[in-house]
Structure 1
Amino acid sequence: MAAPSQVLASRSTHGVRLPRFGLGGSHLGQPAGADGDAGAIATVDAAYQAGIRFFETSPAYGDTERRLGTALSRRPRAELLIATRLPATAELGTAAELERLIRESNERLGLMADLVLLESTAETAPQSELVVGLERVRRLGAVKRVGVVSGDWRALEQVVRDAELDCVLLTGGYSLLDQSAGSLLERCRELQVPVIVSGVLTPQILQVEKSSEPDGVRARRIAAVCERYGVSLPQAALAFPGRHPAVASVLIAASTPAEIRADAALVRQPVPQKLWQDPELTRLLTHPAH
């Protein structure tokens, strides 16, 4: 069994153990049925064997919780960090509803989650209710850590100001092609709130030759710079977020064992510091229109 590499090892930040990379569960819920079960469990097994010990799930991902729990039930629990996302709806106004949602998620997992992340979007609970919900989750004592997840960095920035958080999960806005969430990361750095980032392997990164849109064109130019240093575009995309001191972990979504093995191999390959210092790459990252 493969031991976690130094690249995948945990970074202890703000009292929470956050491995540098984790498996996001969004692709593990489909398809339904026995074949889907077998594929998802094999993918989780491959992630574990590759050294990954951080796993994220959500009731919104279909049957992911049960599948993840089945795969991880054979593993030493103390090694694992399991995060579950819960919808931030108006029902979070009651402690009983929060406790029910957490209990049901744990029952589907067959394990107790270590980290509960409440979703923050404009369509769900107001920020004030979300902050109250976070405080209630913490008081329940049902989980060790609480945080917030959103694709809207502005919503996260507001919650970071108003609530005591163990971490935030940003599902877009900080990657090779998009650093719009930079001010959120700076605020989190100041407040010592660790950031988990997902959504870095976008279609423009994975299918760089197929896109004719501006981001696709820029991705090809970035890829050309990376190639001069012997680095692939996906390798650079996986390495980039962790260069920011606020980013403690990067989640990688995968739907097959081969996919997560390939991604884990990429994160183990060192990226030369000279690549990040390359003037052309700096211009492409900081001035997208040029």
Structure 2
Amino acid sequence: MDLPPLGLGGAQLGNLYHAISAETAEATVRRAWDEGIRYFDTAPHYGLGLSERRLGAALSAYPRDEYLLSTKVGRVLRPHAAEPGERDDQGFDVPATYRRHWDFSRSGVVRSLEDSLVRLGVDHVDLVYVHDPDDHFTEAVSGAFPALLELRAQGVVRAIGVGMNQAPMPAEFVRRFDLDHVLMAGRYTLLDQSALDELLPLCLERGVGVVAGGVFNGGILATAEPGGMYDYAAAPAGLLRKAQRIAEICAWHGVQLPDAALALPGTHPAVHSVVLGAHDAGQVSVNVARAAAEIPAGLWHDLVDAGLLRAEAAVVSPGGTP
């Protein structure tokens, strides 16, 4: 399954960090469609199902066969008798009316997918990722992946994969299973190229498409002047200085830091798509414009020469940007 080069991530549709209105969420998806985006990614985790409900409602205005849709399994949502005013404790500004329960069993995968289809209001999704099995390796190997392989063979889903914020464990899953895609968050960026150690070469060798998420590393690379957040926590001082140095070299080339951050993952031949979230329609258009920015090959070479980018990064090959 070929994925478009740019997709819309659904975390912000689930009120990540702060609430947005239903109208804003709908307008965000509409703008993505108008800008030509045809790949949409979500998960039960995002806002305790709110992202799936909002995304499904917005996409109901468009023909189902004209876009690709992915969601994730691994967390089953169960109703919770919340106290008055109780809010979710995992970063989403939503009432705590459900609890997430880790479940990588076959029955958990089937239940999670069935629940997602109801929330999305569709009869199928195109791609299903096993979501964050960092502490559940054995269960994912024995339950989730065999279940998804079976569902793919039955034609229930078109493609399967794994979505994680690290690189070593996804590489192990690629070795063990016939996966279609890996959603890799934050591990091939201007500040972290650890996916070059094993994951990206392995995916390229085995024909597994990589979807890059977290290209701004949680915010530090999202603005022309580096922000203060890195991977959902305060950025260490040394990493902030490195980001500032990268921003300076970008400026020498007439490039904004977030434009370079967005461009880097797509220069590797294993990366098929980059997924970006947005909290409103305007941010969608900004992201699309950034994705179209031209990045001179000399920028990558200068970052390598300054010791700020690994020499084996694909962008250093002749030709620069794709």
Match of residue 116 from structure 2: 105
Deviations 1:188-216 (A, max 9, x none): 11111110110111322135355471111
Q: Kindly tell me the number of residue pairs found equivalent between the two proteins.
A: 270
- What SS class does the counterpart of residue 66 from structure 1 fall into? helix
> d(CA) in 2 for partners of 1:269 and 1:214?
28
1:122 is displaced (CA, Å) by 2.8
Match of 2:15 among 11, 30, 42: 30
Give the TM-score of the pair, scaled to structure 1: 0.85
> What is the CA distance between 1:141 and its match in structure 2?
2.5
Matching residue's letter, 1:61: Y
Partner of 2:243: 219
Counterpart selection for 2:216 from 198, 201, 211: 201
1:39–1:121 distance in 2 versus 1, CA, 3 Å: same
Measure, in 2, the Cα distance between the counterparts of 1:268 and 1:194.
Answer: 21
Residue 152 of structure 1: how far off its partner (Å): 2.3
- Indicate if the aligned counterparts of 1:23 and 1:253 stay in contact, CA closer than 8 A: yes
Residue 185 of structure 2: aligned partner: 171
Give ranges in structure 2 of 5+ residues lacking alignment. Answer: 76-100, 229-235, 312-322
Residue identity over aligned pairs, in percent, reads 37
Shift of 1:140: 4.1
**Cα distance between partner residues in 1 of 2:29 and 2:192:** 29
The residue that corresponds to 1:69 in the other structure is 56
Q: Deviations over 1:63-112 (max 9, x none)?
A: 01111011111123222111101116875433x54333222211111122
* Selected match of 2:207 from 186, 192, 210: 192
Q: Which is richer in helix? A: 1
Pairwise CA distance, 1:165 = 0.6
Partner residue, 1:258: 282
Using structure 2 for the length normalisation, give the TM-score: 0.77
* Counterparts of 1:237 and 1:180, CA distance in 2: 15
Give the Å deviation of 1:282. 5.8
- Matches of 1:241 and 1:125, distance apart in 2: 26
* Correspondence for 2:141 among 128, 135, 144: 128
Q: Distance in 2 between matches of 1:75 and 1:99?
A: 26
2:2 aligned counterpart, secondary structure? strand
1:204 partner letter: I
RMSD: 2.3
**Could you say if the C-alpha distance between residues 82 and 279 of structure 1 is closer, same or farther in structure 2, counting changes exceeding 3 Å?**
closer
SS in 1 for 2:260: helix
* Paired letter, 1:275: L
- Between 1 and 2, higher relative CO (CA 8 Å, sep ≥ 6) is seen in 1
Pair 281,222 (structure 1): closer, same or farther in 2 beyond 3 Å: farther
Could you tell me how far apart the structure 2 residues matched to 1:219 and 1:281 are?
A: 15
Query: Are residues 1:275 and 2:289 paired?
Result: no
Structure 1 residue ranges without an equivalent (≥5) = 1-15
